[in-house]
């Protein structure tokens, strides 16, 4: 083990866990690399590690441990406190602190906190808090990283733990390393590995509880469940705990059952042998209560003049509303809450627009809002409805982990709300949305229950309809829509019927090919052909059922990039680990980022990769992306939110549309071939669809209508609360009659 002390002269690469830099010692400048958190140019550090030869970058010093030497003299303390590392402290304040606290200033600040700075001129409460937080985090996080690196944990993990547990981090983690699973930092198996290294007993209650909790959440989020049956949970947890364990260390079913009852007080809810993570139970319960409250109310104020309004609207628009659409408009004015469902070509767009226009005609002063679960869906809704729309997240002011701006206490100013693509809304988002609404808000839920359900737990739209909430289903496909092979074949697939393709028409193609690699090549060739015909990258959606395999999104993205956006000297690139981003690449946002205005599923194009000078007068790497006219800037640490978007999964395509859709249909995707998946993919196309694969794969998908049942009690809960509410209104509750 070698040790070097020096100043960082250049930072070559940095992300939240890793640093490559030049270190200037008394003798030489060397390249160092490792998990060195928060070190900047000009800082002095002591590093320990081993030399290694990198095949591309040559001789490097791999850092195994490091530390900032703690300032000892008054001059060093002033320089440290006045540096950019310490927030809220300038040179003047640094001098006053050193004068009052002496050479133990940093230790005193760490131990005594804000009170150690009381009475020092120019340092108020806010500034004192910033100084204390900076000093503590700089040295405490450094110690935590040093302790946890031994177990393979990263700098960003240490920071997350420090934010949660502060100075108690090391003690808490060493007592119970399974705390890492509670914060979703690692999975149970990795926590188990760390625990073994620490000597934690396999029969530890911490281990058993963590496994039960982890298996419960994993089952819910992987399958879209809100709960898991108790017997199933016990069996899965028992397999996870006793895998590769000697008999003496095996966990019994009795111990597992005891764990479930321990957790019931804090993290889980058990109801009729259904085991919920507590937060999912709360979301489901809150949605049910609010919906049952709104269900019992009828509006009906505009009914006397409604027929006249419909006639007036039809005359103005030059249209005649069919029977079902007229019923939907009537029900909207009668009900406080209405669900509108229907497949492609059934007139949902026409009905939504009629509802909005007539509502504004009757109530010109009332506040109308439109929302959808994704950015793509909200933009589409805005176009078809003729009114401004936003994401549900933006509507209620929600960012992950925070309380929304509009919630159960602070209500959203809104008289009439339209929510489109409701099939994509999970139970958490539904709960947050319903919490934000006033009891009197009129709400229209719009969706297609035959499309894929939400990615996260819950099956909200389907459950609301099962519970008997006011619903109008549009089933008639209008003549103009019937002429589209895209719409007619989507309905055929949904009905379990084979495709019917008229080769004299130019909107539906099936290219037969059974080899997955050749399917991928044909997808690339088809994309190039459409570009030759004048279609842009944003006009073409390439949708695959799976990520893996020759015709999966991962392989397709690499092939499509090389064909559509090959490297050349005029295009800048970022290499980040094994990932490459190139100017001109099509990318997809995979996480909601409200501060940037982009959301999960938004697709854009990289327009620029360059260096810019930031506010600290430092040169930083910047990447700009265009998302349908919105320019968004990323630094390298932000790119974990992006993936290549030339090809995306059908799940990711929900809520979006494009003129051209290309889909592989191969038996190599057997596990994902299902009717609702293919139906969802096909209904994304506006002008043309190209299926490339085998008839057999299509037949498998069309015949597979075994929808994976999602464990949810939302429908039952709505019905129960509604019945109770009705009994209460009738006076039977508590009257001795019920």
Given this model, what pLDDT does residue 297 score? 67
Residue 638 pLDDT more than 50? yes
Six-digit token pair at 430? 């539904």
The residues, any chain, with a CB within 8 Å of residue 507's CB and separated by 6 or more, are: 484, 485, 486, 687, 688, 689
Distance between CA atoms of 382 and 397, rounded to whole angstroms?
19
Which residues are known binding-site members?
A: 345-349
The residues, any chain, with a CB within 8 Å of residue 471's CB and separated by 6 or more, are: 338, 339, 340, 341, 464, 465
* CA-based nearest residue to 149, from 50, 68, 64: 64
Which residues are known binding-site members for ATP?
A: 345-349
What are the phi and psi torsion angles at 711 (to 5°)?
-75, 110
Distance between CA atoms of 101 and 134, rounded to whole angstroms?
17
Cβ(69)–Cβ(46) under 8 Å? yes
Q: Beta-carbon neighbour count of residue 429 at 10 Å?
A: 22
**Torsion over CA: 660, 665, 666, 668 (sign):** positive
Q: Average of pLDDT values for 636-657?
A: 89
Q: Average of pLDDT values for 353-372?
A: 93
Cβ(684)–Cβ(541) under 8 Å? yes
Cβ(710)–Cβ(680) under 8 Å? no
Distance between CA atoms of 395 and 263, rounded to whole angstroms?
35
Distance between CA atoms of 38 and 14, rounded to whole angstroms?
9
The residues, any chain, with a CB within 8 Å of residue 483's CB and separated by 6 or more, are: none
Q: Average of pLDDT values for 583-604?
A: 87
Please give the DSSP secondary-structure letter assigned to residue 415. S
pLDDT band at 170 (very low <50, low <70, confident <90, very high): confident
Given this model, what pLDDT does residue 56 score? 66
pLDDT digits (tens, 9 = 90+) for 297-351: 665 554 567 788 888 888 888 888 888 999 999 999 889 999 999 998 888 999 9
Given this model, what pLDDT does residue 169 score? 79
Q: Average of pLDDT values for 574-592?
A: 88
DSSP assignment of 320-352: ---HHHHHHHHHHHHBSEEEEEE-TTSSHHHHH
Residue 561 pLDDT more than 90? yes
Left, alpha or beta for 349 (phi > 0: left; psi -120 to 50: alpha)?
Answer: alpha
Given this model, what pLDDT does residue 735 score? 40
3-state secondary structure 554-595: HHHHHHHHHHHCCCCCCCCEEEECCEEEECCCEEEECCCECC
Please give the DSSP secondary-structure letter assigned to residue 640. G
pTM across the whole model: 0.79
pLDDT band at 707 (very low <50, low <70, confident <90, very high): low
Q: What is the Cα 150 distance to its own chain's centre?
A: 31
Q: Average of pLDDT values for 631-653?
A: 90
Given this model, what pLDDT does residue 685 score? 94
DSSP assignment of 429-491: HHHHHHHHS-TT-EEEEEE-TTS---SSS--HHHHHHHTT--EEEE-PPPHHHHT-HHHHHHH
Strand order in the sheet with 647-649: 508-512, 685-693, 658-665, 540-544, 647-649
Six-digit token pair at 457? 């737990």
CA angle 412, 413, 415 (to 5 degrees): 110
pLDDT band at 225 (very low <50, low <70, confident <90, very high): very high
pLDDT band at 637 (very low <50, low <70, confident <90, very high): confident
Going by their DSSP bridges, the two strands 44-54 and 58-67 should be labelled as: antiparallel
What are the phi and psi torsion angles at 36 (to 5°)?
-115, 95
């Amino acid at each position: 083990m070698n040790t070097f002390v020096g100043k960082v002269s250049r930072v070559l690469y940095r992300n939240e866990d890793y640093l490559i830099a030049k270190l200037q010692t008394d003798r030489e400048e060397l390249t160092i690399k490792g998990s060195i958190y928060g070190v900047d140019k000009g800082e002095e550090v002591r590093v320990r590690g081993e030399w290694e030869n990198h095949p591309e970058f040559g001789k490097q010093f791999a850092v195994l441990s490091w530390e900032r030497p703690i300032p000892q003299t008054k001059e060093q303390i002033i320089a440290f406190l006045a540096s950019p590392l310490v927030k809220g402290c300038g040179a003047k304040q640094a001098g006053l602190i050193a004068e009052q606290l002496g050479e133990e200033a940093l230790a005193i600040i760490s131990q005594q906190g804000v009170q150690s700075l009381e009475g020092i001129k120019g340092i108020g409460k806010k500034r004192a808090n910033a100084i204390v937080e900076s000093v503590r985090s700089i040295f405490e996080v450094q110690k935590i990283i040093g302790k946890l690196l031994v177990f393979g944990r990263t700098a960003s993990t240490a920071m997350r733990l420090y934010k949660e547990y502060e100075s108690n981090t090391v003690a808490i983690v060493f007592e119970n390393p399974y705390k890492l699973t509670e914060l979703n930092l690692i999975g149970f198996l990795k926590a188990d590995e760390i625990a073994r290294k620490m000597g934690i007993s396999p029969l530890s209650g911490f281990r058993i509880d963590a496994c039960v909790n982890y298996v419960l959440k994993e089952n819910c989020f992987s399958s879209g469940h809100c709960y898991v049956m108790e017997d199933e949970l016990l069996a899965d947890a028992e397999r996870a705990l006793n895998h590769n364990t000697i008999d003496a260390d095996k966990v019994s079913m009795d111990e597992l059952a005891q764990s479930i009852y321990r957790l019931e007080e804090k993290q889980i809810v058990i109801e009729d042998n259904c085991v919920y993570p507590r937060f999912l139970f709360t979301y489901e319960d809150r949605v049910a209560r609010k919906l049952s409250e709104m269900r019992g109310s009828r509006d009906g104020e505009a009914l006397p003049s409604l027929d006249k309004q419909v006639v007036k609207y039809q005359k103005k628009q030059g249209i005649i509303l069919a029977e079902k659409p007229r019923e939907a408009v009537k029900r909207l004015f009668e009900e406080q809450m209405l669900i509108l469902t229907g497949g492609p070509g059934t007139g949902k767009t026409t009905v939504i627009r009629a509802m909005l226009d007539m509502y504004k005609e009757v109530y010109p002063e009332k506040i109308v809002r439109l929302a959808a679960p994704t950015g793509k869906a909200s933009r589409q809704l805005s176009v078809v409805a003729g009114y401004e729309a936003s994401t549900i997240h933006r509507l209620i002011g929600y960012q992950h982990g925070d309380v929304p701006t509009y919630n159960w206490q602070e209500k959203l100013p809104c008289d009439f709300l339209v929510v489109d693509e409701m099939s994509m809304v999970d139970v958490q988002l539904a709960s947050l949305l319903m919490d934000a609404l006033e009891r009197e808000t009129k709400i229209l839920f719009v969706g297609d229950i035959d499309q894929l359900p939400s990615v996260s737990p819950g099956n909200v739209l389907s459950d609301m309809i099962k519970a008997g909430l006011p619903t109008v289903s549009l089933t008639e496909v209008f003549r103009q829509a019937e002429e589209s092979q895209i719409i007619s074949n989507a309905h055929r697939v949904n009905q379990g019927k084979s495709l019917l393709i008229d080769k004299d028409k130019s909107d539906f193609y099936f290219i037969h090919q059974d080899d997955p690699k050749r399917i991928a090549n044909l997808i690339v060739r088809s994309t190039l052909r459409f570009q030759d015909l004048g279609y842009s990258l944003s006009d073409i959606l390439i949708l695959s059922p799976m990520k893996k395999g020759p015709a999966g999104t991962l392989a397709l993205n690499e092939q499509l990039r090389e064909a559509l956006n090959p490297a050349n000297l005029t295009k800048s690139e970022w290499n980040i680990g094994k990932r490459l981003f190139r100017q001109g690449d099509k990318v997809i946002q995979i996480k909601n980022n409200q501060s940037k205005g982009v959301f999960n599923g938004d697709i854009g194009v990289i327009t620029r990769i360059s260096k810019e000078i930031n506010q600290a007068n430092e040169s930083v790497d910047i990447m700009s992306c265009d998302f349908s006219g919105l320019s968004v800037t990323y630094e390298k640490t932000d790119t974990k939110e992006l993936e290549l978007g030339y090809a995306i999964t059908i799940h990711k395509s929900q809520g979006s549309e494009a003129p051209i859709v290309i889909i592989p249909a191969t038996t190599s995707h057997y596990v994902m071939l299902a009717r609702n998946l293919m139906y969802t993919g096909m209904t994304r196309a506006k002008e043309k669809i190209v299926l490339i694969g085998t008839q057999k794969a299509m037949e498998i998908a069309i015949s597979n209508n075994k929808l994976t049942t999602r464990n949810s009690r939302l429908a039952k809960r709505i019905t129960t609360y509604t019945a109770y509410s009705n009994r209460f209104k009738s006076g039977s509750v508590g009257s001795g009659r019920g």
